[in-house]
Structure 1
């Protein structure tokens, strides 16, 4: 399904762990790494497509994640001709994507790259939030930058309650003497 301009509707997924690192997958039998992404089927909403692609590509289910943001508009990238199948050249230009930012609330062991009969990835790892910009294939770099920038506003606001930063802040508050505590005299002195 292509739009009038030759772009295929698609979703992209940025999955965060408790340390605000992003999930990064290695494509099957290739040396390229990317975020999970995939096409939107006819009659599917972007959110429905996102959950379907998430399960197909990572094995994660809706109960393993929390949606914390999405891009406002479609982000587009063009695919170079030498990556396009000969039979669709001239019609297909690339992808238009809605990007979702998810927080993983499941565990790393919930990831199953063999959840689909046609796996997309054969390895995965967590990376610092901005690292993918340095290593993603060049023609996707602009869209990755736009998605990461737009969705970065949600990253610290939606931190997992057990993240290192939040644990540190809680410990700092607890360590401040006299904070929110009424000072009273000992019983004996009354």
Structure 2
């Protein structure tokens, strides 16, 4: 990772969204290899996104979820006590995240979805990040193809087990 250590981490928020049955919302990325393939192919993740310079993380998470999924019927269940950090793989440094970051440091929140599924719209924003979604058990979250973010998801499974 030549030069990567000189790059900063991007501040980011993430949302583990639980439905009334304790299942977790995941969506398939449109920009990763395998996206658009079979029903279980591609890279799956929970909604996440950047924090605007004048924005508090607990506000950013609701904005990001709304932009990426159309979901607005949410209540806050809790938050991970720590900022969780991951590094990009060497082949993505200088390319992903507009080439300006070596990875992300994330504040994660547990949210409860209180709406109906017809509220979920992956095309709610002009830039569509996801092309499919599904509900999964929390314990299987880290076993999905979440790519290089797997260590973060393993921590989330443990930290948010009480909400499943």
Using structure 2 for the length normalisation, give the TM-score.
Answer: 0.84
CA–CA separation in structure 2 for the residues paired with 1:94 and 1:50: 18
CA offset at residue 43 of structure 1?
Answer: 1.0
Sort the Cα spacing of 1:147 and 1:5 in 2 relative to 1 into closer, same or farther, 3 A: farther
Higher strand fraction: Structure 1 or Structure 2?
Answer: 2
Distance 1:5 1:108, change over 3 A: same
Q: Secondary structure at the match of 1:76?
A: strand
Aligned to 1:54: 65
User: Are 1:6 and 2:8 matched, yes or no?
Assistant: yes
Q: For residue 92 of structure 1, report the CA deviation from its aligned partner.
A: 2.2
3-state SS in 1 of match to 2:139 = coil
Corresponding residue for residue 50 of structure 2: 39
SS at match of 1:119: coil
Count residues with an aligned counterpart.
149
RMSD between superposed Cα atoms in Å: 1.9
Offset, 1:86: 4.5
Q: Secondary structure at the match of 2:121?
A: coil
Pairing of 1:25-174 with structure 2 (within 5 A): 25-28=27-30, 30=35, 31-61=42-72, 64-86=73-95, 92-153=101-162, 155=163
Deviations 1:60-108 (A, max 9, x none): 11xx11110101110011111212334976x622110010101111011
Distance of 1:53 and 1:119 partners within structure 2: 12
* Structure 1 residue 5, shift from structure 2 partner: 6.4
> Which segment drifts farther, 4-13 or 76-85?
4-13
What stretches of structure 1 of length at least 5 have no aligned partner?
157-190
Counterpart of 2:23 in structure 1 is: 21
Structure 1 residues 112 and 80: CA distance shift in structure 2, 3 A: same
Please, what TM-score do these two structures have when normalized by structure 1?
A: 0.73
Larger Rg: 1
Displacement over 3 Å in runs of 4+ = 85-89
